[in-house]
A and B are shown apart, each in its own frame.
Chain A
Amino acid sequence: MTSTLTPVRKRSALTKGQLPKAAPYIVLAVALVLGAAILALIGFNAFGWGIVSAILFAAGLVGWSLVVEGARKAKDKLATCLVVGSFLVALLPLFSVIWTVLVNGLPGLLDPGFLTTSMNGVTGAFDNKTVEEGAPLLGGIYHALMGTLLITVLATIISVPVGLLTAIYLVEYGEDRALARAITFFVDVMTGIPSIVAGLFAAAAFFALVGPGTKTGAVAAVALSVLMIPVVVRSSEEMLKIVPNELREAAYALGVRKWRTILKVVLPTAISGIASGITLAIARVIGETAPILVTAGFATTINTNVFSGWMASLPTFIYTQILNPTSPSNPDPSSQRAWGAALVLIILVMLLNLGARLIARMFAPKTGR
C-alpha cells in the first residue's frame, strides 16, 4: 500500500532534444550542393559559391537547431557561425596576399644571384635578351636589401633611446604633470601622422641644415624614426606601466636610488615586452615606401654609406621596377624582380615577428622551483 511506483520514463527530465554530432557536416554538405546549384543558375564563380554556401549553412544549422534544440541553443549556433565567419573573412586577405606574393615572388627569389648582385649596369638590353633568347635573368636586390637594412638599423638606433627614455619619463617621473600630458598628446598625434609627411619633414630639415637636395640613407632613417618613436614610446609605456608598484617600493625600501631601481628592477622586469614592442615597431617601418622615396632617392648601385649618396631600399626598388621597368618593351623581368623583392620584404617582417616572440621568451622572468 505504501509502495510507490516510479513512473517509467523514456528520457531524463534534464535533457532536451539534441542535434546529431554530424549535424554541421551534413548541413555543410547540403549548403555546398545547394549553393552550387543556385550559382549554376546565375553563372558560377568560386567567390559567390563560398558566400551563398556560408549563408545557407548558417541559416540551415540555426533553423534546424531551433526546431530540435530550442531558442537558446539556436542563438548559440548563430553566434558561433558569426564568430567563425568573421574569423574566416579576416584571414582571407592575409592568406591571399601571402599566396600571391609566394607564387609570383619565388621564381625571382630562386634566380641565382638575386640576393647577391645589384642592378648596376643591368640595362633594358639584357632584359630583352632574357625574354627573347632565354638568356639568364641578370640583376638582383643586394643593393636594395643592404639599403633597407642599413636605413632601418640607423632608424632603430635613433628611435629606441629617444622612445624608451620618453616612456621612462612618462611612467616614472611624469606624475601627470602638464609636460607629461602634452607629451602623451603629441605622441598620440604622431602615431597617426601620414608617412609621407614624416618623409617631407626629414627632407625639409636636412634641406635647411645641410643643404638643398640632401638625399642620403641618414635622412631616410630620420624620417623612419619620426614614424617609429611614437610606436616605441607607446609600447614601452604600456610595458613599464604593468610592472607592479610593489617591486619599485621593495627596491626603495632597501635604500636603492630611484634611477637604479628603474635601471635594475623596472627595466629588467619589463624588458621582454619592451624588446618585442621595439621589434614590432621595426617591422612596422621596414616596409615604408613614401618617406624613403623623398629622402633616400633611388639607386641601382651598392651604397653602404648612409651619410652620402642616394640609397636603394626594397620598397622603392619594388616601386621603380613596377613603374619604370628596366626594359619598357619587356616589363616581365622587372616585375619578376619586384615580386621577388616583395617576398624578401615579407620574409624579413616575418623573421622580425618571430624574433620578437623569441626575445620575449628569452627575457621573460623565469619561473620554476
Chain B
Amino acid sequence: MSKRIDVKDLNVYYSKFLAVEDVNINIEAKSVTAFIGPSGCGKSTFLRTLNRMHEVIPGARVEGEVLLDGDNLYGPGVDPVTVRSQIGMVFQRPNPFPTMSIRDNVLAGVKLNNTKISKGEADVLVERSLQGANLWNEVKDRLGKPGSGLSGGQQQRLCIARAIAVEPQVILMDEPCSALDPISTLAIEDLINELKDQYTVVIVTHNMQQAARVSDKTAFFNIAGTGKPGKLIEFGDTPTIFSNPTEKATEDYVSGRFG
C-alpha cells in the first residue's frame, strides 16, 4: 500500500509571491526521498503542496500537477480531505493533541472522523501503530495518560504512530528531527528505514548526514536570492548527489562550501 508521486511543472505561490518555481520530480513508491537545501529555499513549502496542506494558509495557491499514481491531486473536484487521508504528514515540532490520551492520540484520525470502530479493533490498531512507530514498549503501560507528558522524541514518534494509524500511502516528514536530541533522532531514523518497506516516505531535512543516512534519493533545492523563487537544482540517487553531483551549486552545498 504505497503509491508514487509525480510532479509536473509545479509553481507554488503565497498570494502573488512565487515561492517555488517549476518543479519536476518523480518520487518512487516504497522509497525514502530527502529534500535538502538552505533555509527559505521552499523545500517545506513544496512538501506541503504534496498533500494540499499548502492551501491552508490564506492566499496560498498552486499551479501545475501533482500525480499520485496518475491521479492529479489538484484536478477539479478533488477533495483535499481525501488527499490528506492518503498522504499523511509529520511536522517539525511534535504536536500531539493536548486534550487526548496517548491512546486517543493514536486513534485521532479514526475518532475525529467519527468512524465506528469496536474496542477490540481499536486496541489492535493502537498496538500496531505504536509498534510501527517503535513506541509500544515505552508507553504500553500508560496508554490512558496524556500524550503531552511524553518526552519530545516520544511525542514525535507518537505523531508518527498517529500518522500511520490512518494507513496512508505516503508519509511526508517536515524536519521531523530538528527539535530532537541525537538519540531520539537515531530512533526516528531507524523508524524511517522500517517505514519504507510499506510506505513512500518524503523527508525534509537540514542535516545532510541524515539525508545521506536515510534516503535513497535526494533532491537539492536552492534560491538565487531573497525575494526570488526557490528551485529544484538537482535530483538523483543519494550517493551520486553527495559524491558526484552534476551541478556546481549542489557540490558547494553538500561539501559545506556554500555561499
Same complex origin of A and B: yes
Q: Please, which residue of chain A has its CB at the minimum distance from the CB of B85? A: A255
Chain A residues within 8 Å of B56, by CB: 248-249, 252
Q: Please, which residue of chain B has its CB at the minimum distance from the CB of A253? A: B89
State which of B91, B113, B148 has its C-beta within 8 Å of the C-beta of A260. B113
What is the CA–CA distance of A269 and B150 in the complex, to the nearest angstrom?
18
Q: Please, which residue of chain B has its CB at the minimum distance from the CB of A272? A: B99
Chain A residues within 8 Å of B112, by CB: 251, 254, 256, 260-261, 264-265
Cβ distance A337 to chain B, nearest Cβ, rounded Å: 47
Chain A residues within 8 Å of B89, by CB: 249, 253
What is the CA–CA distance of A120 and B123 in the complex, to the nearest angstrom?
64
Interface residue range, chain B: 20 to 34
Chain B residues within 8 Å of A83, by CB: none
State which of B97, B111, B114, B163 has its C-beta within 8 Å of the C-beta of A247. B97
Task: Decide yes or no: A250 and B82 within 8 Å by CB, A265-B112, A368-B146 being known contacts.
Answer: no
What is the CA–CA distance of A264 and B110 in the complex, to the nearest angstrom?
12
What is the CA–CA distance of A368 and B146 in the complex, to the nearest angstrom?
7
Contact A367 B148 (CB under 8 A): yes
Task: Decide yes or no: A254 and B146 within 8 Å by CB, A260-B113, A265-B97, A268-B99 being known contacts.
Answer: no
What is the CA–CA distance of A66 and B151 in the complex, to the nearest angstrom?
51
Contact A255 B113 (CB under 8 A): yes
Q: Is B38 in the interface zone, CB < 8 Å from A?
A: no
Chain A residues within 8 Å of B108, by CB: 251, 254, 256
Cβ distance B15 to chain A, nearest Cβ, rounded Å: 12
Q: Is B239 in the interface zone, CB < 8 Å from A?
A: no
* CB proximity to B under 8 Å, residues A256-286: 256-257, 260-261, 264-265, 268-269
Contact B142 A369 (CB under 8 A): yes
State which of A250, A253, A255 has its C-beta within 8 Å of the C-beta of B97. A250
* CB proximity to A under 8 Å, residues B68-112: 81-82, 84-86, 88-89, 91, 93, 95-99, 108-109, 111-112
Contact A256 B81 (CB under 8 A): yes
Contact A367 B109 (CB under 8 A): no
What is the CA–CA distance of A252 and B145 in the complex, to the nearest angstrom?
24
What is the CA–CA distance of A248 and B95 in the complex, to the nearest angstrom?
10
Give how many A-B residue pairs fall within 8 Å (CB-CB).
Answer: 88
Q: Please, which residue of chain A has its CB at the minimum distance from the CB of B92? A: A246
Contact A250 B85 (CB under 8 A): no
A interface size (C-beta, 8 A): 26
Chain A residues within 8 Å of B150, by CB: 369
Q: Please, which residue of chain A has its CB at the minimum distance from the CB of B99? A: A268
Q: Is B233 in the interface zone, CB < 8 Å from A?
A: no
Q: Is B222 in the interface zone, CB < 8 Å from A?
A: no
Contact B146 A367 (CB under 8 A): yes
What is the CA–CA distance of A264 and B98 in the complex, to the nearest angstrom?
12
Contact A246 B93 (CB under 8 A): yes
What is the CA–CA distance of A249 and B99 in the complex, to the nearest angstrom?
16
Q: Is B58 in the interface zone, CB < 8 Å from A?
A: yes
Chain B residues within 8 Å of A251, by CB: 97, 108, 112
Q: Is B51 in the interface zone, CB < 8 Å from A?
A: yes
Q: Is A366 in the interface zone, CB < 8 Å from B?
A: yes
Q: Is A136 in the interface zone, CB < 8 Å from B?
A: no
Cβ distance A368 to chain B, nearest Cβ, rounded Å: 5
Chain B residues within 8 Å of A247, by CB: 95, 97-98
Contact A255 B53 (CB under 8 A): no
Contact A365 B99 (CB under 8 A): yes
Chain A residues within 8 Å of B7, by CB: none
Chain B residues within 8 Å of A257, by CB: 81, 113
Contact B113 A367 (CB under 8 A): no
Contact A249 B113 (CB under 8 A): no
Chain A residues within 8 Å of B98, by CB: 247, 269, 365
Chain B residues within 8 Å of A261, by CB: 112
Cβ distance A273 to chain B, nearest Cβ, rounded Å: 13
What is the CA–CA distance of A273 and B112 in the complex, to the nearest angstrom?
22
Q: Is B166 in the interface zone, CB < 8 Å from A?
A: yes
Cβ distance B114 to chain A, nearest Cβ, rounded Å: 7
Contact A254 B58 (CB under 8 A): no
Q: Is B66 in the interface zone, CB < 8 Å from A?
A: no
Cβ distance A68 to chain B, nearest Cβ, rounded Å: 51
A235-255 interface code vs B (CB 8 A; 1 in, 0 out): 000000000101111111111
Task: Decide yes or no: A254 and B145 within 8 Å by CB, A249-B91, A260-B114, A265-B112 being known contacts.
Answer: no
Contact A254 B114 (CB under 8 A): no
Task: Decide yes or no: A365 and B146 within 8 Å by CB, A251-B112, A254-B108, A260-B114 being known contacts.
Answer: yes
Task: Decide yes or no: A176 and B99 within 8 Å by CB, A260-B113, A367-B149 being known contacts.
Answer: no
Contact A250 B91 (CB under 8 A): yes
Q: Is B162 in the interface zone, CB < 8 Å from A?
A: yes
Cβ distance B85 to chain A, nearest Cβ, rounded Å: 3
Cβ distance A149 to chain B, nearest Cβ, rounded Å: 31
Task: Decide yes or no: A365 and B82 within 8 Å by CB, A253-B53, A254-B166 being known contacts.
Answer: no
Chain B residues within 8 Å of A252, by CB: 53, 56, 84
Q: Is B204 in the interface zone, CB < 8 Å from A?
A: no
Given A252-B84, A255-B84, 9 additional A-B pairs, CB 8 A = A250-B95, A253-B163, A254-B166, A255-B81, A255-B82, A255-B85, A255-B113, A365-B146, A366-B99
- The 5 lowest CB-CB distance pairs between A and B, nearest first, are A255-B85, A253-B89, A254-B109, A365-B98, A369-B149
Residue pairs across A and B with Cβ atoms less than 8 A apart, 30 shown, are: A175-B58, A246-B91, A246-B95, A247-B97, A249-B53, A249-B89, A249-B95, A250-B95, A251-B97, A251-B108, A252-B84, A253-B51, A254-B85, A254-B108, A254-B162, A255-B82, A255-B85, A255-B109, A255-B113, A256-B81, A265-B99, A268-B99, A269-B97, A365-B98, A365-B146, A365-B148, A366-B99, A368-B149, A369-B149, A369-B150
